[in-house]
Chains A and B, each alone.
Chain A
């Protein structure tokens, strides 16, 4: 493949989202020439839905979490026909942090020792203690609101007071106390006071579709400004087609399509992939060559395999009392009561609850009609009044175990607008995950009834909840059973690194962004510490 060649750089980072931003910022102090290619663009906060009267409608448009629904030029299509859980992502500077909820838990110490403790899956080659300094560094960069002392975690610090409990948190917290179950204010990547020149939250309530206030910490506002000031170059609307290698089995750079549609080649001494659990295997598989016929870095055959989502159960209750509704961040508190393995439950591993506030009027009406609680016709208005401002609930975030049958491959027909083969998802819910989901629904129903819910609705698994894309280029010490080593370097290509969710060995049962970023910072530190013999 040919293309206009650019000046070489020391480090090429592919992807400007959660992990790409973190690794770029951390490496900047080396004074190496660092370039990041991002297929999307900067997003202007003035364009986020909450700036308009049609704020709810726009969650189904350009700010939908589904790339297939958005269909924007920077999006690539995904064949998800063979998966009950559909992909959620965002392509742009900040990546998934633009549309995440800002729920910011860490993995737990036991998550890194799954095989040793519970006899399933594999242990990670690193531990909670390995990542702890990077979790802390990432929290400082991100700005985390929370309350210290959560008995579900080893001691850790936060930067700001927690998000307000609101009527919803007080009601659900009271129910948890009645049941004697753990709950705690969530660690949130949402400012409760001015932090790092970013304004505090004003309870816009629509965090999942972009924060116009800038109170939700996304990497376009946290890491990127600092990385760019430290002379990292970020080129937007540049879509990487493939990574190139030479006869020494070293990466030489990447072919990409620039904003004018011109094919270019970017030479680099180090290539870092940060495209997350679907984009990363897609790129590696698209980089197959004579030397790497099964895809780049794929001598193990595991690139794309072991895809883990977090199957979500959504449980919503409707109450007589008036609650927070559309006001305030959707998140607020979590429960780790059922996080650690208890064999008596009939499954291993566990899940967390992420408690959630209510809905705006459009979502109340559409959810109510879909659930049969708001009729069409004469009863519509009475049905709406019963639900609007009277709902609260939770999602259960269930740990998925790695199974090779769950995978990302290249679709034989589907391509993006530049003709690059698109990914295909093949996924089915494992037996352990299904039992866990069922357990979480039953316990959540108990919680909501204890809180006084008069009606309860359930979605399990939530179909549009493929936010967390993990495991498709797993980390490990054995090159036959993993794609990257214990510091993120490809076993096969000595100057190729992966820093995103694809390196997860197991998924844990919490939102992964803080761990993804901690890994990116950890790998960056490993690179810096080994610069003199990085390619040995």
Chain B
């Protein structure tokens, strides 16, 4: 199961994460979606960074430093911002941020309900998908054999 990792982060790192999460996924008044800086979602991120904990701590420290300790400078992802520059220059590290934030944001009950998913694990209920119409294969059948015989190599 997911390992609890919240104790790995100090207060500055938590506040830095909160600022970045809000900049990455802000709330949406129109749909009612929370922002990724919602307290429950931030708590989930901090508790479940798992194998990415060390990398995440490093990214948060680097961004806090890049912002000169000014968290307000991390609240925007617009072109030219600290975050936009960091993303462009460090796509792998930006990927760590995107993963740890998105994997908690998109399992929050409120978010799932608004995007049209039932807030449940796939098992045991599963899902339905359409069987389809196998007559779609008629043209493929009509074309006939396409593999090569191994003895003489001639395709039919």
Contact = CB atoms under 8 A, between A and B. Distances in A.
Contacts, number: 203
B115 to A, nearest CB: 6
Interface residues of A, dominant DSSP: loop
Interface stretch (A21-29, A46-54, A287-295, A423-431): A46-54
Give the residue among A151, A174, A182 with the most B Cβ atoms within 10 A.
A151
Nearest to B33: A381
Contacts of B119: 53
A56 interface: yes
A373 interface: no
Interface stretch (A108-116, A225-233, A308-316, A442-450): A108-116
Per CB-CB distance, the 3 closest pairs between chain A and chain B, nearest first, are: A165-B132, A202-B126, A376-B77
Interface of A: 48, 50-58, 60-61, 69, 71, 108-110, 112-113, 116-117, 127-128, 147, 149, 151-154, 162, 164-167, 169-170, 173-174, 176-177, 180, 182-185, 202-206, 212-213, 324, 326-328, 336-337, 339-341, 360-362, 364-366, 369-370, 375-378, 380-381, 384-385, 388-389
Nearest to B155: A340
B100 to A, nearest CB: 9
11 contacts: A56-B103, A60-B99, A108-B147, A110-B147, A113-B153, A169-B132, A180-B143, A213-B126, A327-B129, A366-B99, A376-B87
Nearest to A163: B129
A152 to B, nearest CB: 5
A336 B112 contact: no
B24 interface: yes
Contact of B146 (A128, A182, A326, A380): A182
B130 A109 contact: no
A234 B95 CA distance: 41
B106 A56 contact: yes
Contacts of B136: 165, 170, 173-174, 177
Contact of A110 (B51, B95, B148): B148
Given A52-B1, A56-B103, A205-B122, 7 more contacts: A51-B123, A71-B51, A328-B127, A328-B129, A339-B147, A361-B111, A376-B23
A377 B24 contact: yes
Given A110-B148, A203-B129, A362-B107, A370 B122 contact: no
A15 to B, nearest CB: 26
A123 to B, nearest CB: 9
B131 A202 contact: no
